[in-house]
Each structure stands twice: as C-alpha cells, then as structure tokens.
Structure 1
C-alpha cells in the first residue's frame, strides 16, 4: 500500500491531539504510510489535550462497558512508556465522593461490581483521616480504587508523535484542512498549503470535527471548561503519594482533581452546569473573575488546605455528544472515512487504545474491541 515520496498516503489523520497522535502511531507501527495534519502546533493548548494532567481510572461511573476499554488503555500507555523511556502514568488511587442521594456512588459501585473491579467503600471521616488533603462533608459516601491515577498529557502526546516519527509517519503542524472529498479509490484532502490523497481518512479533530463532518456537528459540540491551580497552604498533603485523584458530586456542583505535579499547585476543575457551548475559533480563552470565584469556593469547601493563593487558570475545549457517549466508527455513507469525537470530557484516558481501535477500523473496517454503545450509527 505504500506511496512514500509522493503526496499520496495510505492514511491521512486529521487532528493530532491525544487520540490523533495515538492513531498516527498505531497506524505507522503497523507499516502504513501515514500523514497527520494538525491545524495548530504539535502539541498545542487550544483543544482538550493540554493542562499537565488527565485522570485515568478503572472505576468507571459512566458504565461497566468502559472498564475493558480502560484496562486496554492502561496496557497501551504502559507499552508506550516502555518504548519511549518516559514516565507517563502515575498511580495515586482514585476517589469517587458523592453526597447522599446523588447517583455517583451507586453508578460507580454498579460498574465495578459488573466488571469485577476491586474497590473499597469508605465513609468521609475515614477518607479525611487517610488523605488529609481532603475535607469531605461527614455524610458523603466514597469509593476508593487503588489503580487510579493520572497521565502527563503533553508528554503523552509528544511520546506518541515521537513514536510515530520513529515508525516513518509524517506529521505536519500549522496546516489546516479546508475540505476533503471521496474519489472512488480513496480521499482527496485540501489544506491551506497543498493537496493530498490517501486510501483512508481518519478524523480526530475534537471540537472541530463538525466542520469536517457537518452531519456530526450535533455530536461534537464544543464546550468550554476551566482548569485551576491553587497554592496549597499545606503542600505536603497534595503530593502524588498522599493525594488520590478524585471525582466529586454534591447536589449543587461537581468537580475533579489531582495532586500537585509538574507545574506548581493543586489542580482541579469544577463541572459547568449548564454546559457552556462555544465556538472554539472565536471564544474568549481568558478565564474570568467568576471562574476563579467558583473554583476557589469549591476548593475552600472540600479541600481547604489546598485553597491558598491562585497560581493559574486555563481554559480548554471539550467535544460533547448528545448522549455523552463517544462517537467512534466508520461514517455511514462514506466508504473510506473513520471518525472519533464527542468524548464529553473524559476521553483522554482512552486515547492510547482508541488509537488502536481507529487503526483497526482504517485497515480492516472492524475491531475486536466492543464499542457498540459508541457507534456512529446510533446518531446518524
């Protein structure tokens, strides 16, 4: 299939963030001539694959169907660590903490039980004593899972890009895809710099997927999110050895967070309700005083030892599907096009195995991984 040395390739991958970089790597390591196209820098801070850390966990409150995907993602991340010689995944344990009457704890327990994931049920005082960076309300219910942790997000993208280069892939940054068309024997892609042809097209463009596949615009809705770093007043409590990653839900708000790592401060995010839909090209990317106030209030309530002076706030853009399941697969009506989008704020942890899935689909039109609940066909 190789067309090296020409502007025709076996596969073109559009969007080289978390999932796209993994896809280019998986395809290139299988011997294909792969071109990755990224409209911004590689890596960049304008989408959803930046901000130092992303949670990875086996405890999947989203449903038991996600657990086998997470397990394979762990394997693929560890394999990338071995090939790259870089530390990418840090295990801290993961905490799900929910107020009485919220669905979070019931959902995560059901998923863990169905998928045979071991966990501990804890009360809030026990958590606060074991992990004193936490100060959960006494009536909160908690699930602790020992294998959760976080990924170094920019390092992961860079490792996959380097991995792809080593396998012969070409990746072009600052090159925007203007349009594409099927030709009968593949696809033709036009960018702001040149034209390319390929046998297969894979679209992993995140919040920009709707530009390239208008029929899926409602399944890749761009949503603004804010990440915050505060200086802990007791920094020793927020080290990776003493502070598990968390997902938290009360009746009024939700959030997620991490120990201090790589950049200064205790990092967390507060879930927006309702979701703030934006245009990723024209949105104001500067965090606001209101963002800071809401996030500080969250930290003061649940993690007061982490609620010191503000260090940093950063925005990102996440693509949300209509039912908040992923949108992955061959695109109906297109013989040579595969897409992955709509990760709804929790996709990066799966990027390593999604690259494998997309390589399967581009090469064979099918995969052994069960992504039936994420099928493109359910929304088209």
Structure 2
C-alpha cells in the first residue's frame, strides 16, 4: 500500500515523484519503458522555456514559479538545467504568436522589446526573417535540458525514498473508495492516490480522453551550420516563428554541434502512440529544410540528427490537470499539446498538492477535465 503511485516517469511524472517523496510520502513510480527513454515527448536534449506566452496570459504565473523551481532543482541536483538565451516570438503583426506574446508581456509587466524583422536579423545574424513579421524579444527565454532534468528528478526522488519500476506497463487504473488499484503487466499495487502522467498513452488509462487527447507524430532536426558562430547560445535566442508556410520552433547549437528546429503539427499524423512511427523519413527532413532555407539560411549545412517524438494535442491546445470527476483519488496530468515540458517543475508541485490536499494555490480553471471529456 502506497500513499501515491505516479504513472509515467517523464517530465511531469519525475517532478511529481520527487515532490511527493520529499514530503515524506511512500511513493511508487511506474514507467513502461526505460528511465529516460526516447519513445515519448521529452527526449532530444532540450525544450524551450519562455515567459512571453502567446498561448494564454494565464500561463505566466505558472512560468514564474517554474523558473524558480528549475533553479532550486539545479541547486539540489548540482548541475545546470536552465539556460537563458532570450526568446523571439514572431508572426504577421495580426498573427496569434505576435499578438499573444505581446499581450502576455503587457498584462504581466514582462520586460520585452517589439522589433521589426530587420532589427532581429541585424541583432541576431542566424535569423533571416521576412519583412512582414513583427517580433517580441523577451530576455528571460531559453531552454531546459529536458533529458537531464528527468534523470535529476528521478535521482532526487530515489534519494528521498521513492521507488521506481521501469519496464513495467500499466494496463488499468481501478478507482475505489478512498484508494486506487493500479494493475500492471507484472502485478497489482494499491495507493490512496494515483497520478496518471502517461503522456501520449494517457487515454489508454483515462478512456474519457480518447477523442480529445490525441497523439501526433513530430520530427526534430539538427543541422550543421554554415556559420557556426551565428548559432551559439550567446547570440541565438530560442524562438517561435509563425511563417506563411508553417509554424516553427528553434534552438541554438547545444548538446550536439547543430542548430535544432521543429515544425508544430508537422504533417498532422495522428494515431495511437504505439502505432506512430519513430523513424524519420526524407520528407520529414525536407519540411524542415524549407524553413531553414527561408528563415535560417546560415544553418543550411549537413544533417546531423533527426528524431521523432510525440505531441498529445487537445482541441484547444491547453492542458488537462485535474482530479477525475467522481474519483478524486485519480489525478489526471496531461500538460501537453507540444508546449508542456517547461512547466514540469511547477507541475510536479501542483500535482503533489492535488495528490495530498486535493487543491492547488494556482488557478487551474483553464485545465479542467470536464471541458474535454467525452
């Protein structure tokens, strides 16, 4: 009998496991693959973090806390996990990326600059944005070392007394009065609470999300720059660029010596997480090359690496973070839709609060389960 069982030890699950363990709970973490695997949504070295949140201004208070907790985690783990480069959000002047980013900056008093495309290109030589773009530069953006962060949280959790079982697939979560049973391919466990942070497999365990938490195949690419000096973290901010031919996200060279780029919603390939291909194809690379040649021509060198990962998209692209209606012993955790990892540190705190008290000090109204469940 455990206090809490955490299902899925990726970004959210690992942080939650640590938060619960440090509070003295008897906790079990269950992971269907290896710890730190590359089958889900958090591999590929790093993930963007940014304060000027075009998706919705209500994310900003969560992000402020996330930054503070990432720094605290660095101190405890003894390694840097959060890297500051500044961030650029760019689109047409009436586009969602520019207007949403600017609105978040103004509502929350974030330091920022509104720049034209030519100003961005002059200040940051790795960029070649077209004149039609309007841009918000926010100096506190950057990236989190996602793979290292998961392992750091897992190590901290184990040191605090948590138990982790990798290579053990959860097949069912059965609620009961005041407790929950978790059935795996190797056994049965009971706890007072269960946090379901299963990523792209969440609807296998929470069937009400089958039609509204939909896995989507993504592909990331790393390319050797023609001019490596233009893509170092000191001179190349992370970015979200909504161009006329697609919405792309970019990182400086870090981890391996290559510029990193991805395209939101890629080819819109949806399906069950077990059925979506993890093998990159020539057309995946071609889609990324289109953006490189148009927007980042100094990065148009040899391919260094391609990797597939999974988004889990909701219709409104907001998270699902809530207790399961009628079953408060089950906490649903799907900070998803391609923009969740940066929140892992604060989500660990929020999910631990929901598991221990049933409440959070943050406004989670945007993330309620009932808006999506079928």
Which TM-score applies when normalising by structure 1? 0.96
Deviation at 1:262, TM superposition (A): 0.9
How many Å separate the matches in 2 of 1:131 and 1:260? 14
The 1:273–1:237 alpha-carbon spacing in structure 2 relative to 1, beyond 3 Å, is closer
Q: 2:170 matched to 1:170?
A: no
Looking at structure 2, the residues matched to 58 and 78 of structure 1 have their Cα atoms a distance apart, in angstroms, of 15
Distance 1:66 1:287 in 2: 32
**How far, CA to CA, are the matches of 2:100 and 2:163 in structure 1?**
42
- Which deviates further from its counterpart, 9-18 or 367-376? 367-376
CA–CA separation in structure 2 for the residues paired with 1:55 and 1:162: 23
Is the 2:87–2:237 Cα contact (8 Å) retained in structure 1?
Answer: yes
CA distance in 1, matches of 2:148, 2:194: 26
**Matched residue, 2:240:** 247
Segments of structure 1 that go 5 or more residues without pairing to the other structure are 1-7
In structure 2, the residue matched to 1:311 is: 304
Partner of residue 117 from structure 1, selected from 99, 105, 110: 110
Q: What residue number does 1:232 align with?
A: 225
Q: For 1:342 and 1:163, how far apart are their aligned partners in 2?
A: 22
The partner residue of 2:47 within 51, 54, 77 is: 54
Segments of structure 2 that go 5 or more residues without pairing to the other structure are: none
Alpha-carbon separation, structure 1, partners of 2:99 and 2:181: 48
What is the CA–CA distance in structure 2 between the aligned matches of 1:324 and 1:227, rounded to whole Å? Answer: 20
Alignment of 1:266-285 (within 5 A): 266-272=259-265, 275-285=268-278
1:82-102: CA deviation from partner (whole Å, max 9, x where unpaired): 101011000000001113442
1:343 deviation in Å? 1.1
* Native 8 Å contact 1:254 1:271 kept in 2: yes
For residues 22 and 366 of structure 1, the distance between their equivalents in structure 2, rounded to whole angstroms, comes to 18
State the Cα distance separating 1:376 from its structure 2 match.
1.4
Residues in 1 aligned to 2:156 and 2:298: alpha-carbon distance in whole angstroms: 40
The residue that corresponds to 1:348 in the other structure is 341
Q: Does 1:44 align with 2:37?
A: yes
Secondary structure in structure 1 of the residue aligned to 2:167: coil
What is the correspondence of 1:1-380 to structure 2 with a 5 Å cutoff? 8-272=1-265, 275-341=268-334, 343-380=336-373
Is the 8 Å Cα contact of residues 219 and 327 (structure 1) preserved in structure 2?
Answer: no
Offset from partner CA, 1:291-319 (integer Å, 9 cap, x none)? 11110111010000011111111000111
Query: Deviations along 1:351-375, whole A, 9 cap, x unmatched?
Result: 1100100000000010101111111
User: How many pairs were matched up?
Assistant: 373
The 1-side partners of 2:364 and 2:186 are apart by 35
State the 4+ residue runs in structure 1 displaced beyond 6 angstroms: none
Provide the aligned C-alpha RMSD in A: 1.1
- For 1:327 and 1:284, the matched residues in 2 are separated by 25
Cα distance between partner residues in 1 of 2:299 and 2:15 = 34
Inter-partner Cα distance in structure 1 for 2:172 and 2:44: 30
Q: Tell me the alpha carbon deviations over residues 301-347 of structure 1, each in whole angstroms, 9 at most, x when there is no partner.
A: 00000111111110001111121110001010213100111510000
Residue 185 of structure 1 and its aligned partner are, at CA, apart by 3.5
Q: Is the 1:131–1:237 contact (alpha carbons within 8 Å) kept by the matching residues of 2?
A: yes
